[in-house]
Structure 1
């Protein structure tokens, strides 16, 4: 299984160093020297690199700067701009806390209410500064966001492929005071 760990930003300096928009909770291990990452260049990119190996990484004013073995200079750094970086997960990479999940574990789970009625499916996870949100596509096709907190999502069972959503009026049917055009 692969997860996205970052996206290459603009070059920094002349020697191939790039900024990385970090998308992992473990940047120190994901961007450690000699780590190989699968590279997914943007569609309009001239870069044909499919793998990048970290040469070194460092933090500078809150921004992760990474040098890759395959990117020797500023021109090469500009060519890989926008490349999405993927890491392969091993069983040892599984979250240690049973209440922590990777996005790919949640997306695709069926959503049920506390009575066992199917509500829809988890389609996305939105990471916010205050809390994460689960994007749920209701059975009627409407999309809604549910704060991913224990009070509103009391149960996540990845193995059974389900999450339980509590107290979300309007997820199953329009709000009682909503007017519908008929």
Structure 2
């Protein structure tokens, strides 16, 4: 029998709203802007993780992620150097998200390009699904993935956040 999963959470302010950071002993298991009440997010995560996250008051990984997010939003950080816990990601989704991590700061790539880089050139729609369902927002830059015509798409129903992140990166790289 395996030991119960120990997870911790931190809510951190950002220009795209409060960001929920959840860590395990493996690393960041999810990070995304809060879109509803914290209690609802934690309840859903508790079901998926089979563990109720504790407050991350003294969690070094959560504190480091928060610091790196602040640097990113200040235009001082171009990539994140934090361990990721991939337990919520399965199959091709992980390959797609790993390929997304290779898109350079301040640049974009089409879904089909990411699919090809992930080893499945015909899986552009699956890349879209991977980006839409990623547990890792911002630290895995799914905001850099765009449609073939260059339009940005929905970004989880918040295209204004995607525009903000892309403009932030473009401005910081000039």
TM-score (norm 1): 0.22
Q: Which has the larger radius of gyration?
A: 1
Structure whose residues are more often strand by fraction: 1
Structure whose residues are more often helix by fraction: 2
Could you say which structure has the greater relative contact order, defined with CA pairs below 8 angstroms and 6 or more residues apart?
2
